[in-house]
Structures are given as structure tokens and as C-alpha cells.
Amino acid sequence: MSADPGIVIIGASLAGAKAAQALRLDHGYDGPITLVGDEPHLPYQRSALSKGYLLGTTGPADLDVLKPQFYADQDITLALGAPATALDLDARRVRLADCTEFPFTQVLIATGARPRRLRVPGADLDGVRYLRNRDDSEHLAAALRAAGNVVVIGAGWLGSELAAASRTFGNHTTVIDPLPTPVYYVLGDRIGGLIARRHRDHGVNLLLGDGVEAILGTRSVEAVQTITGRTIPANLVIVGVGATPNTELAQAAGLCVDGGILTDGHLRTSHPVAVAAGDVARHHHPRYLNPVRIEHWDNAVIHGTAAAATLLGKPTTIDHVPYFFSTQYGSTLEYLGLPTTWDRIITRGEQTTPGFTAIWLDRGIPVAALTIDNRGAADHLRTLIATAHPVDPQQLADPDTPLLDLLPTRRAVPCEAISYGRPRRPNPGQGSASTTHAPRPANA
């Protein structure tokens, strides 16, 4: 063991654990690694918390990012159950709430995000819940089992999954959102309207273009009053109105923060010993004009791996096409790209049948895509978007034309665009973390 105090990773979750794994397995780094986490659990997958774990079809062991013995096998020190409360980058020390201190040579900040709070009268009543961590999911599952009348506030990806879960538990379910369609900023009204139809087909009372005026009740929730004057009975309210990055520690340490910890394209922050990764990082991305902060499972995995390389002075380029998956009413939705400008949407396949795909075009160039139950297509769509080449809309609309036939011929495609075939399932605790395009977790 060297006298080097090594690398401290703050945030023992997906990005942090993947960074630790890549440091050891991809790069053979043999210095000390300390993984600091405020939650008592080993790093786990959050994506299942609104899906299989909430519904009881995924067990706790399936949530593990890495096999529990990985940390001991790889000599990774775990400091769990106490948050880091002070970070001194010049002195290179981090202090935890329990007064433990760890020196470091470099630090990775992967503190993630937390739910944005609803600020309306009654928001602190019993029965108003948020979902971010494993304990939230367990309590929410118990509440959903006993609820009866559920109101979900927010019709984004999370709100949509929560509505689907609530219906699976047999609850009368209302979703309230001020925007015209679910996931509006990402999908727009046409494809968002399709998501709306799916909710309504599954018995959800979808109140769009309306907001929450107040949550009513004496001690616990009894109803939700909307801005347009509706009163919706509820004994459980679930809030899914977005997330706020956990930047306070970084900001107090003097790092540049603006809607996330600002980093360059290699996740380097404004201080030479600090790197940031995952939901908390707002990084330069060569595909986009402004720095992006991406709250996706895939992004956290890619960031963890890239952060390890940067920490070891071997920075890699992060220019992936953002990828998100969601499970609703037994269907898998996959979305690639970032909300950006588009002037046309091409669809392939029937909206109600598996295999449906929508592709957003900007001046003929594919910039984003959504598939429903068409898992094999994501890699091809990623290639199409990464290539950033205009395609023939008529051919694109023809489901019998293979997507890769639309690529320009006799022209090199960017390395990032090379397809790796069907996404592989993760093998926690094993193998390399260097997959360019992370497979989504099998347990979602």
C-alpha cells in the first residue's frame, strides 16, 4: 500500500460505484479508494425503485450496482451512513457528519440529486410522499397497497411510472400537470399525447393544463385542490416534479456551480483535485451548445467510468447520445437524445403495437427518438443520431427499411456511432466497466 491517501468518492451510488469499479478493474489502480455515502445501503440501482422494487417483483439483492463482496475483494473502504459535511480541497480532506475525516489526493463528487419539493399549502401533511431512495420506495409500496385514492403530481417520466404503479395496485389514480401532455418538454404534444392516451386507457384520470392550488386535510391528506377549482379526493399524494442536484458541499468547497457542478468535457471541476460525475455534474458535451446535466442511469454509468479515467490522468471524450428507459404498464419505453429543436417527427409502426418508433428530425437530421417495446432498435437509433446525417423521411417512415440502411454509405461514421449489437444485461460485480454504451439494468 502506498503512502498516497488515494481517491475519495463522495456519493456511494451508481456513478460512484462505477468509478470505483473502473479504477480497480479497468485501470488497475492500486491506491486507496474510499467510498463515502450518506445512505446506510451499499450502492444500489435507483431505476428499479419506481418499477420492479416498488411493485415487489424485484428483490433488494437485485438492486446492487456491484456484488456486495466486490468492495472487500477490491480493498475499497466503505464509509456509509454519514454524509460528507465539509470538503477542503486545498487541504485535501473531507469530514463526515460523524466527525470522521479522510485525506485524499483526489476527490470524485457524485452526490446525485434529490426531489424538488412542492411548495403549496398542505404540502407537509401526512400522506404526501416523494421517491428518491430505497427507503422511500419501501414506504411508498406500503402506502400504495393501502391507499384507494392516489394523486400523482407531475406527469414527467417519474410521474408516469408512478401512475402506472398506482394503477397496478388497483388505486383510483389522478395525475395533475400544468403542461398540455405528459413528458411535454421532452416529447412535445404529439408524442406526449400518445403517452396521455396510454394513461387514460389504463384508467388514469389525467388532468393536464391544471396545477395544484393546495393539498387539503387536517393531519393527513384528504384531497387535492387544483388551480381550476377541482377537488380530487386523495389519501396518498406522490410528488414527482423534478430533481435538484446536491451541489451544496461542492459549492461550500468553492467549486463553480450553476445548475449542477460545472465541469469540462472530461468531468474536471474548477479545482484541479476534484472531479464530478452523474446526476450532480453539469458538463460540457460536444453535441450540445450549453453544458448539460443529465439524470439518466446510462449517463451515471458512463460518467463513473469516464471519471475514473480522468482521475488517473487518462481523460476520455464523453459525447454519448443520452439514453433513458422507462417502464409503464408493462411496456418499455426508450428515449435517445436531449430535448432540442426539431421541425418534424417521423413515426414507424402503429402507435398501439409493440415496435412503435418516433424519430425527431431537425432539418432532416435525426436528433432524438422514442421506441415502445422495440428494445433492439435503440442501438440503431443511437447510431443514426450520433452520425448526425440527413435521412430520407419517406424511407425513415417505412418500418420495412432497416434503420441502418439510412446511414450514408462510403463515409466513415464516428467511432461513437458504431453499434455494439443488442444491449447486454449487466453482470454486477464482474467484468469491465468500460462498455461504451451501458446496457440498462435487467431489474428495472
Ligand X SMILES: Cc1cc2nc3c(=O)[nH]c(=O)nc-3n(C[C@H](O)[C@H](O)[C@H](O)COP(=O)(O)OP(=O)(O)OC[C@H]3O[C@@H](n4cnc5c(N)ncnc54)[C@H](O)[C@@H]3O)c2cc1C
Does 298 participate in binding ligand X (rule CB under 6 A)?
yes
Task: Provide DSSP, 368-422.
Answer: EEEEES-TTHHHHHHHHHHHT----HHHHH-TTS-GGGGSPSSSPPPGGG---SS
Give the residue carrying C-alpha cell 411496456.
331
Nearer to ligand X, 37 or 366 (CB): 37
**Position of cell 455494439?**
420
DSSP 23: I
Q: For ligand X, which is the closer residue by CB, 112 or 154?
A: 112
Kindly calculate the radius of gyration of the chain based on its CA atoms and give it in whole angstroms: 22
84 touches ligand X by CB under 6 A: yes
Show the binding pattern over residues 364-403: x = contacts ligand X (CB under 6 A), - = does not: ----------------------------------------
Nearer to ligand X, 32 or 115 (CB): 115
Sequence-distant (6+) residues with CB within 8 A of 94 are 8, 10, 36, 84, 86, 87, 88, 101, 102, 104, 107
Q: How far is the CB of 22 from ligand X (least distance, A)?
A: 13
Stretch that binds ligand X, among 117-125, 182-190, 319-327, 400-408 (CB under 6 A): 319-327
Q: Is 326 in the site for ligand X (CB under 6 A)?
A: yes
- Least Å distance between CB 432 and ligand X? 19
Of 34-73, which residues contact ligand X (CB under 6 A)? 36-39, 46-47, 49-50
User: Can you tell me which of 253, 308, 311, 444 binds ligand X, judged by CB under 6 A?
Assistant: 444
Phi, psi torsion values for 136, nearest 5 degrees:
-55, -45
Question: Do 175 and 204 touch, CB atoms closer than 8 A?
Answer: yes
Q: Identify the residue among 108, 300, 368, 378 touching ligand X (CB under 6 A).
A: 300
Measured in residues, the chain has a length of 444
Q: Which amino acid is at 443?
A: N
Least separation in angstroms between CB 366 and ligand X: 20
- 438: phi then psi, degrees, rounded to nearest 5: -70, 135
How many residues bind ligand X, per CB under 6 A?
A: 37
CB of 10 to ligand X, least distance (A): 5
Exposure string of 105-131, with b = 16+ CB inside 10 Å and e = fewer, is: ebbbbbbbbebeebebebbebebbbbb
Selected from 6, 11, 32, 217, the binder of ligand X by CB under 6 A is 11
∠45-184-416 over CA atoms, to 5°?
55
CA 55 and chain centroid, separation = 19
Please name the residue that has the C-alpha cell 400504495: 144
Which of 24, 129, 285, 296 binds ligand X (CB under 6 A)? It is: 296
Beta carbon of residue 47, minimum distance to ligand X (angstroms, whole number): 4
Task: Please tell me whether residue 16 binds ligand X under the rule CB under 6 A.
Answer: yes
In whole angstroms, what is the distance from residue 35 CA to residue 93 CA? 14
- Residue 335 CB, shortest distance to ligand X, in Å, is 9
Q: Taking the complex as a whole, how short is the minimal distance between the CB of residue 330 and ligand X, in angstroms? A: 14
In the complex, least distance from residue 29 CB atom to ligand X, rounded to whole angstroms: 19
Nearer to ligand X by Cβ, of 37 and 429: the residue is: 37
Residues near ligand X (CB under 6 A): 10-16, 36-39, 46-47, 49-50, 83-84, 110-113, 131-132, 158, 246, 249, 278-279, 295-298, 300, 324-326, 444
